[in-house]
Amino acid sequence: MERLQKVLAAAGVGSRRKCEELILAGRVRVNGAVVTTLGTKVDPESAAIEVDGRPILHEKKTYLMFHKPKGVITSLSDPAGRQTVKDYLKGVRERVYPVGRLDYDTEGLLILTNDGELANRLMHPKYGVPKTYLATVRGVPDGGKLERLARGIRLEDGMTAPAEVEYEDVSPDMTEAVIRITVREGRKRQVRRMFEAIGHPVGRLKRIAYGPLALGGLPRGKIRPLSEEEIEALKRCAAEAASPEREGGGEKRRP
């Protein structure tokens, strides 16, 4: 037996808090009866649960890793007719959803799942799940500029949290550099805006890790299921609440 709001969240209805609001509003029925008491326990396998008259689907929990190409929308539909993540889900029978977003111009690791509770934990700012990117930037930022990123830099929507930053590669003619950066926030176009703030705009951005998961050699445009070990590692990561303030940044290596 599990709490009703947890079952709803796990089915992808919404966050735990949103599901609690639905219950209190009298919008949830269990076996035909309206339930408005938080903490009510149900059998997720046998209970007939409806939200606004529509039954929730008890689907097999599915966890996928997708190497999103540049030029693909992190959505299941697009009014403008652009290519979306859904175009790559042929053969996936369960209804899975992206965990967070990758910008249209950004490629790399994207998690897809129908485990709503895990997805909400991974995306919630208070858990500070780390996300690592390789940013190819114009010019070569000096160590002082990377130190600014590591300590936190002021953007139009406030200071960023400390980050881990290091040189990955520098072109022979010193016209561009590849910087590895790990952030624990999920602001819109955050990494791009951070590098713009130090005068080194991003030409290419690729997410190579999300929490304990690494993109590895997964080809661009391909999807694979997560292993049991990866799923457990992801759940452990999501369960560890991060402190609101993180001290220090990453080590900088000069080119």
Catalytic residues, by residue number, are 103
Q: How far apart, in whole angstroms, are the C-alpha atoms of residue 237 and residue 130?
A: 9
The tokens for 190 are 């955050």
User: How many CA atoms lie less than 13 Å away from 47 in the CB half-sphere?
Assistant: 22
Question: Which tokens is 156 given?
Answer: 């139009």
Q: Alpha-carbon Rg of the chain, whole angstroms? A: 21
DSSP for 1-57, please give it.
Answer: -EEHHHHHHHTTS--HHHHHHHHHTT-EEETTEE---TT-EE-TTT--EEETTEEPP
Pairing of strands 202-210, 223-225: unpaired
Q: Which two structure tokens, joined as six digits, stand for 214? A: 């690494």
Query: How far is 5 from 37, CA to CA, in rounded Å?
Result: 10
